[in-house]
């Protein structure tokens, strides 16, 4: 375009926004600053939803959870070096969880960075990002924005989803080109996450294994939840009559109250089952790698595994019948092949599982109806359980150690993708980013149940919640510390490990600083009133739930993962 003919020009800023919008990306989770401040402004002016956070890690967690909930990459945008690094944790977490996310970071001038001449926020971000994501791309010319965004989107959601990094040098944003030419340079990504139909041989093999099963089990993982093929999964589970065990974020795919749900008989089904069908769940640390006494007799188990990632098969144990494909297509093919295959629902086994689960649930139920003073986890979580039962559309976010483990088993989830938690890494600090993304992406109410330590990793985002007036009720389980608040310490002196926080901390006052509703709850009755009010009103609320400092266990349910010192025990 001739010089001065601004009418017919476009630039890097606008091409990037156009490229995202063309591909259906409507939301950016970001923290502004040089060189992306104006990019956020222009994006908003062009009709995008730009949600500004206080710290990039939480914007990043929000983007990754948006990816999990929508099957489209969530986009996080940050400034250079420090902002980029803050976002990188979330990008790595997204990749670890197999969630699609794109981290777009501004960067400094290439020629200065490459000569290490000390530019403003200088860092070779492209190289830094590479080990933490599926793919890492850098733009040098505005004319390549179309293809770069297309590549980033396809990389993030095709095959096994994951994180992608897109590096945008500040100077590139200002580059101009002819507007018509710019429009032509954009690329619409055609069906980036195509159905992956499993091979017939794989289905036949799985059927043969299923025919031999006397005590079968289905394990549902968050890959199955991600796939959004809820009806097919339900059909397969019900047609087979197999008990199913939901991993934490697969809870709700079928309701936890379903008669085939084996969550409350976890130890039993892992140990006694003979055939296990894994659906979008890795046999990783969360399942003791498929080995050990938890799994019964070594070698007695035969696994069928559905996964979109072929390389996942045999990662820890032999897979007797690997089925590579998306969960939906695998279910569909298996359902067809089951017709006339003589696979009968294992009635006796299901009854046995059921009676174990029922007994465990009854025991649990009795513990929930307590009015102990000080309030314990069970008393408090009994209230949360009722609140979700009465408001099953609410999305539950959950982190902490005891707060996490007990909430997972106590609180029933009734709908798919209605529980978001610490994921594969067990990372603290996902709570508020996840809650914000859940509220923004679904428009639903969110209940975030947070350990007081967990909340500390992301607590400042309570201002973001208030600023956008989101219907999020955060309940801080305040037991005065990490795991416990009574300073249990066999090392002597103050406990540096389980850190006793300031006693009687008033987390409820924090939200009042930003105009939200703060409540203190010392008993299940007080908690009930506060939670129901918050869910009714939809107002940003923080409930400071005072929990007995002695009620928790070190590391919650996973204390066995702590290494032991022989020397210290002399
Ligand atoms: O069958 P059995 O008899 O075995 O019984 C099981 C079920 O059948 C039964 N069950 C039921 N019974 C009755 N009714 C129902 N409905 C029911 N449902 C189940 O209950 C038992 C247990 O069932 P579950 O839970 O399914 O089974 P289990 O054995 O626990 O499963 C194993 C696992 C591994 C799958 C499960 O435990 C799991 O998913 N665990 C995830 C654990 C995790 O990720 N934890 C978070 C990390 S801990 C630690 O790392 C923390 N840090 C360090 C740190 C981290 N993480 N990140 C960063 C960035 N920096 C540092 C920190 C700082 S936690 C933490 C803070 C903690 O303090 P907080 O204040 O936040 O929290 P508090 O602890 O509350 O103080
Ligand atoms: P969980 O923690 O719930 O056990 P994991 O995160 O360990 O679940 O496992 C999720 C698995 O799901 C990953 O191996 C991933 O490759 C797989 N996956 C992701 N999306 C799909 C999909 N659409 N179809 C099939 N498998 C998928
Ligand atoms: Mg705590």
293-317 pLDDT tens trace: 999 998 889 999 999 999 999 999 9
Q: Whose CA is nearest to atom 6 of ligand 2?
A: 97
pLDDT at 197 over 60: yes
Q: For residue range 237-264, what is the model confidence (pLDDT) as tens digits? A: 999 999 999 999 999 999 999 999 999 9
Q: Which residues contact 373 (CB under 8 A, 6 or more apart)?
A: 522, 523
Residue 483 CA to ligand 1 centre (angstroms): 11
Supply 262's token pair. Answer: 């084996």
State yes or no: pLDDT of 115 exceeds 70.
yes
Atom 15 of ligand 1, nearest CA residue = 264
Residue 447 to residue 384: CA distance in whole angstroms = 9
Predicted confidence at residue 1, as pLDDT, reads 47
Please report the pLDDT score of residue 372 as a whole number: 87
511 alpha carbon to ligand 3 midpoint, in Å? 19
Phi, psi of 424 (to 5 degrees): -65, -35
Pocket test for ligand 2, best of 194, 221, 276, 303 (most atoms within 8 A of CB): 221
pTM for the full model? 0.98
Looking at all shown ligands, the one closest to residue 421's CA atom is 1
- Residue pair 133/92 in contact (Cβ under 8 Å)? The answer is yes
Q: What is the pLDDT of residue 497?
A: 67
Mean of pLDDT values over 510-537: 98
Please report, rounded to a whole number, the percentage of residues in the chain having pLDDT higher than 70: 99
Mean pLDDT over the full length of the chain: 96
| Residues with C-beta atoms within 5 A of ion ligand 3 | 451-453, 479
Distance CA 438, CA 512 (A): 22
Instruction: Return the pLDDT at 3.
Output: 59
Q: Which two tokens stand for residue 532?
A: 């129901």
197 in ligand 2 pocket by Cβ < 6 Å?
A: no
Burial class (CB in 10 A: 0-12, 13-18, 19+), 472: buried
**Closest C-alpha to 440, from 62, 47, 22, 93:** 62
Q: What is the separation of C-alpha 436 from the centre of its chain, rounded to a whole number of angstroms?
A: 12
Q: Quick check: CB of 403 below 6 Å from ligand 2?
A: no
Q: Looking at residue 407, what is its pLDDT?
A: 98
Judged against a pLDDT cut of 60, whether residue 2 lies above it is answered with: no
Q: In testing the pocket of ligand 2, which one of 98, 218, 413 has its CB within 8 Å of the most ligand atoms?
A: 98
Q: What is the mean pLDDT of residues 111-137?
A: 96
Tokens coding 410:
């106590």
**Pair of tokens at residue 311:** 């390389």
Q: In what order do the strands lie in the sheet with 49-52?
A: 49-52, 27-30, 74-78, 101-107, 163-169, 135-138
Q: Flag whether pLDDT at 56 surpasses 50.
A: yes
In terms of C-beta density within 10 A (0-12 exposed, 13-18 middle, 19 or more buried), how is residue 420 classed? Answer: buried
Please enumerate in sequence order all residues whose Cβ is within 8 A of that of 142, keeping only pairs 6 or more positions apart, or say none: 11, 12, 15, 172, 173, 175, 176, 177, 182
The bound ligand whose nearest atom lies closest to the alpha carbon of 227 is 2
Integer Cα distance of 387 and 524 in angstroms: 12
> What does the pLDDT look like over 441-456, one tens digit per residue?
999 999 999 999 999 9
Between the CA of residue 551 and those of 347, 379, 384, 482, 524, what are the distances in Å?
39, 11, 17, 12, 15
């Amino acid at each position: 375009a001739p010089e001065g003919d601004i009418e017919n020009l476009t630039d890097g800023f606008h091409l990037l926004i156009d490229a995202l919008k063309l591909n259906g990306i409507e939301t950016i989770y970001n923290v502004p600053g040089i060189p992306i401040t104006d990019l956020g402004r222009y994006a908003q002016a062009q009709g995008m939803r730009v949600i500004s956070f206080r710290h990039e890690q939480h914007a990043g967690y929000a983007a990754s959870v948006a990816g999990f909930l929508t099957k489209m990459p969530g986009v996080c945008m940050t400034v250079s070096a420090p902002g980029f690094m803050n976002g990188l944790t979330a990008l790595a977490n997204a990749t670890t969880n197999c969630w699609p996310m794109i981290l777009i970071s501004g960067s400094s001038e290439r020629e200065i960075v490459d000569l290490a001449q000390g530019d403003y926020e200088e860092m070779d971000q492209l190289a830094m990002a590479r080990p933490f994501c599926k793919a890492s791309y850098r733009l040098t010319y505005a004319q390549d924005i179309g293809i770069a965004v297309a590549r980033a989107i396809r990389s993030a959601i095709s095959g096994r989803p994951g994180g992608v990094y897109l590096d945008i040098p500040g100077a590139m944003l200002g580059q101009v080109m002819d507007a018509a030419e710019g429009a032509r340079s954009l690329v619409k990504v055609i069906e980036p996450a195509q159905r992956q139909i499993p091979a017939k041989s794989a289905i036949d093999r799985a059927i043969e294994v299923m025919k031999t099963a006397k005590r079968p089990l289905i394990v549902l993982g968050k890959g199955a939840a991600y796939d959004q093929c809820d009806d097919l999964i339900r059909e397969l589970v019900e047609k087979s009559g197999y008990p199913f065990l939901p991993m934490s974020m697969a809870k709700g795919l079928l309701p936890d109250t379903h008669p085939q749900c084996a969550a409350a008989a976890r130890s039993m089904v892992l140990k006694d089952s003979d055939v296990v069908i894994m659906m979008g769940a890795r046999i990783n640390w969360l399942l003791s790698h498929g080995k050990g006494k938890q799994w019964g007799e070594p070698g007695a188990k035969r696994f069928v595994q559905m996964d979109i990632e072929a390389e996942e098969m045999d990662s820890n144990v032999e897979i007797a019948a690997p089925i590579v494909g998306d969960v939906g297509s695998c279910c569909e093919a298996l359902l067809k092949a089951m017709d006339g295959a003589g696979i009968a629902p294992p009635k006796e086994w299901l009854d046995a599982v059921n009676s174990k689960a029922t007994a465990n649930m009854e025991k649990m139920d009795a513990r929930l109806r307590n009015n102990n003073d000080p309030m314990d986890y069970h008393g408090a979580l009994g209230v949360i359980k009722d609140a979700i039962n009465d408001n099953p559309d609410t999305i539950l976010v959950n982190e902490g150690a005891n707060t996490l483990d007990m909430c997972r088993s106590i609180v029933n989830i009734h709908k798919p993708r209605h529980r978001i938690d610490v994921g594969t890494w067990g990372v603290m600090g996902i709570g508020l980013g996840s809650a914000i993304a859940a509220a923004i992406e679904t428009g639903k109410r969110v209940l975030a149940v947070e350990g007081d330590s967990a909340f500390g990793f992301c607590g400042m985002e309570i201002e973001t919640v208030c600023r956008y007036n989101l219907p999020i009720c955060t309940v801080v389980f305040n037991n005065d510390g990490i795991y416990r608040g009574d300073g249990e310490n066999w090392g002597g002196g103050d406990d540096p490990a389980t850190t006793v926080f300031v006693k009687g901390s008033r987390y409820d006052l924090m939200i009042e600083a930003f105009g939200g509703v703060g409540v203190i709850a010392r008993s299940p009755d007080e908690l009930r009133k506060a939670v129901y009010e918050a869910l009714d009103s939809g107002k940003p609320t923080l409930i400071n739930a005072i929990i007995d400092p002695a009620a928790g266990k070190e590391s919650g349910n996973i204390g066995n993962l702590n290494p032991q010192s022989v020397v210290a025990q002399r």
